[in-house]
C-alpha cells in the first residue's frame, strides 16, 4: 500500500458576518447566552444567490494552489455536504466543471458533520491502492439555507463555509496512519432535515411545517458528542499504533466549545494542542474540520512529522477520526 497524505489545504467563507448581536434582533436570545452555552460569537452567511458549489470552488482553488497542482491533474473529486446545490447533479460535478478537472471522477458524499472525514478516508483508499494519484476532498456547507430562523435552539449554532484538501502519495510512513469511522442509524431522528427526500417530498404542507430545516434534539446530541469524540479518537490512534500522548495537534469538529472541552478533558490532552475556531464560524458541518485544518496548516501549527488527529461527529448519527503524520514541510 502507498502512503497517502495531505499535500495542500484551502478554505473559504462568505463575506457576510452574522454576530450574536445581530441574532438578538431576530430571535429571543442574547450574546451572553450563546457565548456561555456554545462559545460561538459570530458566523459567516452566504448571500441568497450563492450556492455551496461557489464556496467549494473557492476553497478548492486555494487547496490546489497550495498543493501546486493543476486541476487537469485531478483523478478524483469528492464533495461532502448536506446542502448540495441540487439533489442531483452532484455538487462534485459542478465544482469539477468550474475547476476544469476534465479527467476526474467524482461524487458527493453525505455523512453530515463527519462528511469530510468519510471523504478523506474514501479518497485515500484509491491512492493507497495505486488506482489514483491526485484527489481533492471538499467539505462545504450553506447551512443558513436549511435553518429555521425562528428556532433559537438551532439558528444560533450554524454557519456557512468550505474547506478542501488535496491528497497524494507521500513519503513512506507519513500521511494517514489510522482511521475510525462509525454510525448508528437508531439516532437518526436526533439531528435531521425531514423534508425534501422520498419520505416527505416537497409540498406546500412540508414547507408550512418547516420540514426543510434542521430539527435537533440538542441535549441528546450533546451527550452523544461528548462520549463519541473521545472513543473514536482513541480507536483511530490505536489502529495507528499510537496513544494520546503522541498527539501534537487535535482538530475536532467545531460544534460547541463545551463539547470540545469535555472531550479534551476525557482524552486528557493538553488544551494548547487543540485547534478551536468555532467562535468565528459556528458549526459549519462538513466544512468545520477542513477549515480548521487549513487555518492550522497555514498558521504554522502543523510541522513536518507532527501527529495530527481530526475527530468529528454528526447527523446519522455518524462519527469518525483520522490520524495523520504531517508530511508537508514549511508553512
Ligand atoms: N437563547 C436563549 N435561550 C435559549 C436559546 C437561545 N438561543 N436556545 C435555547 N434556550 C433556552 C431553552 O429554551 C431552555 O429554556 P427553558 O429552560 O426555559 O426551557 C434553556 O435555554 C436551556 O435549554 P437547553 O436546550 O437545555 O440548553 P443546553 O444547555 O442544552 O444548550 C445547545 C443548548 C443547543 C447549545 C446544546 O444542547 C448543544 O450544543 N447541543 C449540541 C448541538 C450540536 O452540536 N449539534 C450539531 C452536532 S453536529
Residues 126-175 pLDDT 10s = 999 999 999 999 999 999 999 999 999 999 999 999 999 999 999 999 99
Domain boundary among 121, 139, 174: 174
All three cell numbers of 184: 448508528
Question: Nearest residue CA, atom 48 of ligand 1?
Answer: 314
Give the sign of the dihedral formed by CA 55, CA 286, CA 163, CA 79.
Answer: negative
The last residue of one of the domains, among 152, 174, 196, is: 174
Chain mean position to CA 98:
22
Residue where one domain finishes, among candidates 120, 149, 174: 174
In the prediction, which pLDDT does 330 show?
Answer: 73
pLDDT at 329 over 90: no
* Prediction pTM value: 0.97
Q: What is the pLDDT of residues 190-242, one digit of tens each?
A: 999 999 999 999 999 999 999 999 999 999 999 999 999 999 999 999 999 99
Say if CB 111 and CB 307 are below 8 A apart.
no
Look at ligand 1, atom 36, and give the residue with the nearest C-alpha: 218
pLDDT of residue 328: 93
Q: How far is the CA of 302 from the centre of ligand 1 (A)?
A: 34
Task: Indicate whether 331 belongs to any domain.
Answer: no
Co-location of 99 and 224 in the same domain? no
190 located within any domain: yes
Instruction: Classify 174 as helix, strand or coil.
Output: coil
The verdict on 143 and 210 lying in the same domain is no
Residue 4, beta-bridge partner list: 169
Question: Residue 267 has what pLDDT?
Answer: 93
122 and 186 fall within a common domain: no
Ligand 1: which of 112, 222, 289 to mutate, judged by most atoms within 8 Å of the beta carbon? 222
Query: Using one digit for the tens of pLDDT, what is the confidence trace for 296-308?
Result: 999 999 999 999 9
Question: Does residue 230 lie within any of the structural domains?
Answer: yes
What residue owns the CA closest to ligand 1's atom 7? 152
- Rounded to whole angstroms, how far apart are CA atoms 189 and 315? 8
Residue by residue, DSSP assigns 90-152 as: -HHHHHHHHHT-TT-EEEEE--GGGHHHHHHHHHHHHHHTTS-S-EEEEEEEEGGGG--TT-H
Task: Please give the positions annotated as active site.
Answer: 113, 253, 283
Q: What distances in angstroms separate CA 129 from CA 125, 258, 286, one per listed residue?
A: 6, 39, 26
The pLDDT assigned to 331 comes to 65
Residue 283 CB less than 6 A away from ligand 1: yes
Query: pLDDT band for position 37 (50/70/90)?
Result: very high
Specify whether 127 is located in the same domain as 215.
no
CA distance 251 to 288: 9
With respect to residue 330, please indicate whether it lies within any of the assigned structural domains. no
Residue nearest to atom 8 of ligand 1 (CA): 153
Give percent above pLDDT 70 in the chain. 100
Q: What is the pLDDT of residues 165-180, one digit of tens each?
A: 999 999 999 999 999 9
Q: Which atom of ligand 1 is nearest to the CA of 258?
A: 39
Pocket flag, ligand 1, residue 318 (CB < 6 Å): no
Residue in 35, 38, 218 to alter for ligand 1 test, most ligand atoms within 8 A of Cβ: 218
Q: What is the CATH number of the domain that holds 242?
A: 3.40.47.10
Q: Is the pLDDT of residue 102 over 80?
A: yes
**Contact present, 212 and 143 (Cβ < 8 Å):** no
**Contact yes or no for 151/302 (Cβ under 8 A):** no
What is the rounded average pLDDT of the residues 74-82?
98
**How many angstroms separate the first and last alpha carbons of the chain?**
28
Atom of ligand 1 nearest to the CA of 158: 46
Query: Ligand 1 pocket, 222 CB below 6 A?
Result: yes
For ligand 1, the distance from its centroid to the CA atom of residue 219, given in whole angstroms, is 7
Q: Does pLDDT of 249 surpass 90?
A: yes
Per the DSSP assignment, residues forming a β-bridge with 183 are 318
| Alpha carbons 236 and 180: distance in angstroms, whole number | 5
Domain containing 43 equals: 4-174
Q: Which of 219, 224, 226, 259 to mutate to test the pocket of ligand 1 (most atoms within 8 A of CB)?
A: 219
Peptide bond connecting 37 to the previous residue in cis, omega within 30 degrees of 0 = no
What is the average per-residue pLDDT within 263-281?
96
Asked if 232 and 250 sit in the same domain, the reply is yes
Q: Which residue has its alpha carbon closest to ligand 1 atom 13?
A: 153
Amino acid at each position: 500500500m502507498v502512503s497517502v497524505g495531505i499535500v495542500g489545504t484551502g478554505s473559504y467563507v462568505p463575506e457576510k458576518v452574522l454576530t450574536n448581536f445581530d441574532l438578538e434582533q431576530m430571535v429571543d436570545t442574547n450574546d451572553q447566552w450563546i457565548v456561555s452555552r456554545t462559545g460561538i460569537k459570530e458566523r459567516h452567511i452566504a448571500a441568497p444567490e450563492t450556492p455551496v458549489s461557489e464556496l467549494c470552488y473557492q476553497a478548492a482553488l486555494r487547496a490546489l494552489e497550495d498543493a501546486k497542482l493543476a486541476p487537469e491533474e485531478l483523478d478524483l473529486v469528492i464533495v461532502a455536504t448536506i446542502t448540495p446545490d441540487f439533489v442531483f447533479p452532484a455538487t462534485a460535478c459542478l465544482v469539477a466543471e468550474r475547476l476544469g478537472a476534465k479527467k476526474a471522477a467524482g461524487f458527493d458524499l453525505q455523512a453530515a458533520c463527519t462528511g469530510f472525514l468519510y471523504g478523506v478516508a474514501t479518497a485515500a483508499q484509491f491512492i493507497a491502492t495505486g488506482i489514483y494519484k491526485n484527489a481533492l476532498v471538499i467539505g462545504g456547507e450553506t447551512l443558513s439555507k436549511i435553518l429555521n430562523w425562528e428556532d433559537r435552539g438551532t439558528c444560533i449554532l450554524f454557519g456557512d463555509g468550505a474547506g478542501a484538501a488535496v491528497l497524494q502519495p507521500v513519503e513512506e510512513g507519513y500521511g494517514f496512519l489510522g482511521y475510525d469511522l462509525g454510525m448508528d442509524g437508531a439516532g437518526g431522528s436526533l439531528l435531521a432535515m425531514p423534508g425534501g427526500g422520498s419520505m416527505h417530498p416537497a409540498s406546500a404542507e412540508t414547507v408550512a411545517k418547516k420540514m426543510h430545516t434542521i430539527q435537533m434534539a440538542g441535549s441528546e446530541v450533546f451527550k452523544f458528542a461528548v462520549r463519541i469524540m473521545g472513543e473514536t479518537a482513541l480507536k483511530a490512534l490505536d489502529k495507528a499504533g499510537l496513544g494520546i500522548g503522541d498527539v501534537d495537534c487535535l482538530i475536532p469538529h467545531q460544534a460547541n466549545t463545551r463539547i470540545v472541552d469535555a472531550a479534551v478533558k476525557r482524552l486528557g490532552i493538553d488544551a494548547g494542542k487543540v485547534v478551536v475556531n468555532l467562535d468565528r464560524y459556528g458549526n459549519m458541518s462538513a466544512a468545520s474540520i477542513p477549515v480548521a485544518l487549513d487555518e492550522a496548516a497555514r498558521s504554522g501549527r502543523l510541522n513536518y512529522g507532527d501527529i495530527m488527529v481530526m475527530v468529528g461527529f454528526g447527523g446519522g448519527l455518524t462519527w469518525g477520526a483520522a490520524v495523520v503524520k504531517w508530511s508537508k514541510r514549511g508553512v
